[in-house]
Structure 1
Amino acid sequence: MIQKRVVVIGGGTGTYQVLVGLKKYPIEISAVVAMSDSGGSSGRLRKEFSILPPGDVRRALLALSNLPLARKTLEKLFNYRFQEGEGLKGHSLGNLLLAALTQITGREDLAIKEAGRILAVSGFVYPVTLDKTNLVAVLRNGKRIYGETNIDLRWYGKKFAKIPIKKVYLSPRAKAYPEIKSAIREASLVVIGPGDLYTSIIPNLLVKGVNEALSTSVDTLGWYKKFHSEPVKNDVMEGGVRVIGGSFVTRGEFLRHDPAKLAKTIIKLLKE
């Protein structure tokens, strides 16, 4: 029996939850993560060492880690943020380790592969691009917001909070990491999201070569937080898109996508 191949495209906690759920099934998983993060520890490392932002890569590697006896400890270790210390405060240890591996290997993609071996990753983790690029949002009033973090944080200020985004683009343009194009073309199913449309999903699709590869893939599944209204749902369905409804969240201190619920639906689609 040929093993099914699933490619998960995205970034942030949504992609992490999908990967955690899928890892329990006998399928080949490839994670393609966004490389436009500009804030926090990732943003600081980008500026100081001129490397790709490691945060989303770190999450994907941890999600697919297959060291059951040490997984919880490793997760705490890689996600640990220094609370004090000149130059260290705010940094994630996992991000620092990826930065160190990049300097040791000389290339970000080799650093990711080496980290994957250390963590005994089940599957593959790829950067969507090796090009250094930034996300820019153009608001409906013509104003531009530079950087993924600033786009996210606009909701917390009064200046741009109520002004809709007209479009987003990458500056400079970026081309796809070669291995992801073949992974997408050979996939049984491509999962996009869940995550923020403008900062986690679209940045991957803006990379040259990704949409071209998706156009030749067998099937694509897009996860979004929710449909905000029935007209939106109707527009999507009229475009020939099949809508799968359901509750995919888990309730706790924070609302998160439930890994088991997401994975169960994805596996069901693979069997159709």
Structure 2
Amino acid sequence: MVALGGGHGLFASLSALRRVTTDVTGVVTVADDGGSSGRLRRELGVLPPGDLRMALAALCGDDEWGHTWSEVVQHRFRSEGELHGHAVGNLLIVALWELLGDAVAGLDWVGQLLGAHGRVLPMSAIPLDIEAEVAGVDPDVPDEVSTLRGQVACASTRGRVRSISLVPPAPPACPQAVKAVREADWVVLGPGSWFTSVLPHLQVPELADAILGTRARRLVALNLSPQSGETDGFAAHTYLDVLAAHAPDLRVDSVLADPMILEGERERHQLERAARQMGGRLELAELAAESASPVHDHDRFAQAFEHIFRAH
């Protein structure tokens, strides 16, 4: 299984997939420019480590070793000094990159230390920026289209994101990520920040070719709720409409969604139609945890994955 994304969305899918298989690879966006990752990226010129760290933490086991190391790498310093806000895992990853001179080898070493049930890879060998075409950045001019640069700016805009691209354009893919996608049985896209974590994978030419050309089955997992600043006002089918607009040749086998995101039969039919147009079948399952905020229950998510994988 190969899961592509970043941040909390990829954390959720990897946490579920490691319960289904021991052979799982997370392929992670490398465009983060905020927080600890942004600071390390600007100071040292490295790939932003934060989403890579989260993916590794998601692959930690449920035993004492896994729980402990997951908490350690996710731990953030709280101080009045330079260390404030840095995550321990970010510093560990960057230290190994500097010692080994190889991003993939460094991540593999961290994975071994954590006892990770799988592997984590960057989608590209170089740090990237995201540019977005956004309408209505100025609420007084709702139809005016502006260009925003940077993942944080694109994810937090008050406007409506229409499309994204990468800077530099056509960046080099991580060869191991391309190989993993081509050799996979299943490729999973989403959930996650749609424009800044999911779609960027389709903007890296070699990786996009692998996603389109792999013999693996493809599954798209939809978000539990719209994300403020990126997908405000999205209906369930809009995620697929945007995905198809950015990758017109992409065909999928399954679209997984929680029925809580559908407002009535009309919206369900629209989502079913959008899935069929991409060649896939809609699969509905309760995925959300029983909490005040919409987050994935990892066991429910795993059961839904397993049901779909077995059916195919």
TM-score, normalization by structure 1:
0.89
SS at match of 2:166: strand
TM-aligned CA deviation for residue 73 of structure 1: 2.2
Considering Cα pairs closer than 8 Å and 6+ residues apart, tell me whether 1 or 2 has the greater RCO.
1
Matched, 1:191 2:188: yes
Question: Which residue of structure 1 lines up, in the alignment, with residue 219 of structure 2?
Answer: 221
Within a 5 Å distance, the mapping from 1:43-192 to structure 2 comes to: 43-66=38-61, 68-140=63-135, 141-154=144-157, 161=158, 163-173=159-169, 174-192=171-189
TM-aligned CA deviation for residue 67 of structure 1: 7.3
Within a 5 Å distance, the mapping from 1:249-264 to structure 2 comes to: 249-252=288-291, 254-264=293-303
SS at match of 1:215: helix
User: Comparing 69-78 with 235-244, which one deviates more in the overlay?
Assistant: 235-244
Structure 1 unaligned residues grouped into runs of 5+? 1-5, 155-160
Q: CA separation in 2, counterparts of 1:56 and 1:94?
A: 10
Question: Which residue of structure 1 lines up, in the alignment, with residue 243 of structure 2?
Answer: none
Check whether the contact 1:188–1:270 (CA below 8 A) recurs between aligned residues.
no
Question: Which residue of structure 1 lines up, in the alignment, with residue 20 of structure 2?
Answer: 25
Q: CA separation in 2, counterparts of 1:198 and 1:135?
A: 9
Check whether the contact 1:67–1:120 (CA below 8 A) recurs between aligned residues.
no
Question: Which residue of structure 2 lines up, in the alignment, with residue 243 of structure 1?
Answer: 282
SS at match of 2:282: coil
Check whether the contact 1:130–1:177 (CA below 8 A) recurs between aligned residues.
yes
Q: CA separation in 1, counterparts of 2:308 and 2:286?
A: 16
Alignment partner of 2:7 out of 7, 12, 17: 12
Q: CA separation in 2, counterparts of 1:26 and 1:241?
A: 23
Q: CA separation in 1, counterparts of 2:89 and 2:204?
A: 26
- Count of residues in Structure 1 that have an aligned counterpart in Structure 2: 260
Q: CA separation in 1, counterparts of 2:278 and 2:16?
A: 29
Check whether the contact 1:67–1:119 (CA below 8 A) recurs between aligned residues.
no
Q: CA separation in 2, counterparts of 1:67 and 1:106?
A: 31
User: Comparing 38-47 with 208-217, which one deviates more in the overlay?
Assistant: 208-217
Deviations 1:132-158 (A, max 9, x none): 21011111323111111111122xxxx
TM-score, normalization by structure 2:
0.78
Deviations 1:203-258 (A, max 9, x none): 12211212211122221001111516727513343343311123211132532112
Question: Which residue of structure 2 lines up, in the alignment, with residue 209 of structure 1?
Answer: 206
Q: CA separation in 2, counterparts of 1:185 and 1:34?
A: 18
Q: CA separation in 2, counterparts of 1:239 and 1:65?
A: 34
Q: Please tell me the root mean square deviation across aligned C-alpha atoms, in Å.
A: 1.8
Q: CA separation in 2, counterparts of 1:34 and 1:63?
A: 16
| Percent of matched pairs sharing the same residue | 29
Q: CA separation in 2, counterparts of 1:121 and 1:212?
A: 28
Check whether the contact 1:19–1:64 (CA below 8 A) recurs between aligned residues.
yes
Q: CA separation in 1, counterparts of 2:78 and 2:174?
A: 35
